């Protein structure tokens, strides 16, 4: 379906709905002891999105490093980490 893993990741990123804030509307009438749980749920959802995107970023960096071999016998070029 995709020509490469990079194409797959780009398609996944393009079709991922990152606007999750609207899913967690604050409830100002909540019981005082229950206030803040919506925000905690939103924070957890944001962390899941960030973790997923970091994993995608590291996969892309690994693919990039593999495409930039070193001419000095190292695993990858000295300039690959500069990205």
Q: Measured at the alpha carbon of residue 49, what is the angle toward residues 46 and 2, in degrees to the nearest 5?
A: 160
Is the CB of residue 71 less than 8 Å from the CB of residue 77? yes
Q: What are the domain boundaries of the chain?
A: 42-83
Radius of gyration of the CA atoms of the chain, in A: 20
pTM: 0.63
In this model, does residue 83 exceed pLDDT 60? no
Q: What is the pLDDT of residues 15-33, one digit of tens each?
A: 777 676 666 666 666 677 7
pLDDT of residue 51: 92
In this model, does residue 8 exceed pLDDT 70? yes
Q: What is the pLDDT of residues 31-75, one digit of tens each?
A: 777 767 777 888 888 898 899 999 999 998 888 877 877 777 776
pLDDT of residue 39: 78
Q: What is the mean pLDDT of residues 4-13?
A: 80
Q: What is the DSSP string of 7-59?
A: HHHHHHHHT-----GGGS---TTS-TTTTTHHHHHHHHHHHHHHHHHHHHHHH
């Amino acid at each position: 379906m995709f020509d490469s893993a990079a194409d797959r990741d780009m398609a996944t990123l393009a079709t991922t709905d990152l606007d999750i804030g609207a899913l967690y509307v604050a409830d100002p009438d909540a019981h005082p002891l229950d206030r803040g749980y919506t925000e905690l749920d939103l924070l957890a959802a944001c962390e899941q999105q960030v973790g997923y995107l970091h994993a995608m970023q590291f996969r892309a960096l690994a693919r990039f490093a593999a495409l930039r071999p070193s001419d000095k016998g190292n695993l990858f070029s000295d300039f690959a980490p500069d990205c």
